[in-house]
């Protein structure tokens, strides 16, 4: 059996699909993951994925392409050529799977399943209803189970990635705490000055600190690192970042991809979590974590990209001392 797993949005979303992918892979001879450009690096880290097809959908992301530039005919040609037997269409609770299901049906996929609150007509063979407030990783696995795909014996259903490389040459020897100050949306970002204060207070408390960030965040990581932290801004690929996070005592991060990557390598997370999306669905999965941020703030459940409340109080009321205390709590639990 040749199977498709579709998750069209971001890096963290694709990581959260990992348990469902492994369930499919336990029963299929070949698994292809269809994802967007932002999710591609995560898809290539997932155990069970044999092939990755990258396609940018005109209905996903903050800057989707126009329909006439999305190369829908090219996608259909690729999918028809591979003659897939079945497909799981994974979406978040607020997304419709039906546009994707229509394309898969046009491509001749024999059996298609998705969570859908909308009547699917002939687009879905398995129309599943996700449980209220179910974590995204659990909801994806629930759909896989509804399609008849069970995890192999001994698989605990947690997030997982392929074994990362040794990154001691980047981090140096000895224990450390990772601080990741960037975020995928401004509404989810803690203030850079607060991050810098937390790095200094962690260093004052005797921790070695490593600051991580992407190629477009080097100015931010340089500022946050100051003179006391190892600045790895722009110096890690997704795979090497997994190695850096794996060996950390704890990771301090907003609700963004690296928090889920930390969970996938088994590292506890201090989660600076803006409630624009619900923590019940998006908190670090399967690892110890401490949630910081006012989950009852006026921005709750708005899915806002930019904070709608002056002063960003849901996160900016969090102090550097709160972060240090949370790190100590997680280290004590892990000892």
The one-digit pLDDT tens for each residue of the chain (335 residues) are 999 999 999 999 999 999 999 999 999 999 999 999 999 999 999 999 999 999 999 998 888 899 988 899 999 999 999 999 999 999 987 789 999 999 999 999 999 999 999 899 999 999 999 998 899 999 999 999 999 999 999 999 999 999 999 999 999 989 999 999 999 888 899 999 999 999 999 999 999 999 999 999 999 999 999 999 999 999 999 999 999 999 999 999 999 999 999 999 999 999 999 988 999 999 999 999 999 998 988 888 888 888 888 888 889 999 999 999 999 999 888 76
Instruction: Give the model's pLDDT for residue 51.
Output: 97
- Report how far residue 168's alpha carbon sits from residue 303's, in angstroms, rounded to the nearest whole number: 38
Q: Are 256 and 188 in contact (CB under 8 A)?
A: yes
Taking the domain 2-146, which CATH number applies? 3.40.50.2000
- Report how far residue 79's alpha carbon sits from residue 74's, in angstroms, rounded to the nearest whole number: 9
- Report how far residue 265's alpha carbon sits from residue 247's, in angstroms, rounded to the nearest whole number: 9
Superfamily of the domain at 168-334 = Glycogen Phosphorylase B; (3.40.50.2000)
- Report how far residue 280's alpha carbon sits from residue 312's, in angstroms, rounded to the nearest whole number: 21
Same fold, 2-146 and 168-334: yes
Instruction: Give the model's pLDDT for residue 335.
Output: 66
- Report how far residue 44's alpha carbon sits from residue 28's, in angstroms, rounded to the nearest whole number: 18
Domain extent listing, the chain: 2-146, 168-334
- Report how far residue 12's alpha carbon sits from residue 253's, in angstroms, rounded to the nearest whole number: 13
Q: Are 293 and 272 in contact (CB under 8 A)?
A: yes
Helices (H) and strands (E) in the chain — how many of each? 14, 12
Element of type H or E holding 127: strand 126-128
Residues in contact with 74: Cβ distance below 8 Å, sequence separation at least 6, in sequence order: none
């Amino acid at each position: 059996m040749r199977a498709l797993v579709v998750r069209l949005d971001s890096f963290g979303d694709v990581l959260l699909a990992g348990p469902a992918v492994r369930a499919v892979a336990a029963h299929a001879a070949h698994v292809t993951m269809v994802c967007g450009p932002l999710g591609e690096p995560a898809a290539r880290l997932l155990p069970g994925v044999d092939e990755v097809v990258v396609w940018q959908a005109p209905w996903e992301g903050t800057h989707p392409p126009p329909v006439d530039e999305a190369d829908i005919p090219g996608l259909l040609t690729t999918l028809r050529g591979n003659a897939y037997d079945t497909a799981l269409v994974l979406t978040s609770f607020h997304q419709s799977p039906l546009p994707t299901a229509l394309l898969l049906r046009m491509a001749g996929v024999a059996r298609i399943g998705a969570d859908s609150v909308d009547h699917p007509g002939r687009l879905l063979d398995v129309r599943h209803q996700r449980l209220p407030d179910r974590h995204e990783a659990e909801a994806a696995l629930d759909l896989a189970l509804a399609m008849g795909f069970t995890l192999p014996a001994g698989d605990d259903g947690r997030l997982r990635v392929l074994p990362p490389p040794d990154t001691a040459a980047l981090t140096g020897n000895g224990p450390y705490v990772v601080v990741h100050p960037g975020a995928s949306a401004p509404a989810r970002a803690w203030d850079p000055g607060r991050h810098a204060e937390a790095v200094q207070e962690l260093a004052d408390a005797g921790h070695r600190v490593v600051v991580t960030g992407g190629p477009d965040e080097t100015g931010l990581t340089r500022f946050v690192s100051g003179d006391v932290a190892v600045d790895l801004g722009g110096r890690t690929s997704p795979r090497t970042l997994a190695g850096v996070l794996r060996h950390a005592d704890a990771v301090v991060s907003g609700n963004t991809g690296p928090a889920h990557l930390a969970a996938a390598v088994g590292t506890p997370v201090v989660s600076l979590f803006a409630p624009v999306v619900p923590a019940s669905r998006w908190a670090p999965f399967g690892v110890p974590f401490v949630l910081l941020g006012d989950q009852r703030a006026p921005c709750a459940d708005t899915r806002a990209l930019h904070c709608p409340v002056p002063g960003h109080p849901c996160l900016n009321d969090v102090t550097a001392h709160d972060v240090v205390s949370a790190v100590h709590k997680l280290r004590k639990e892990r000892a």
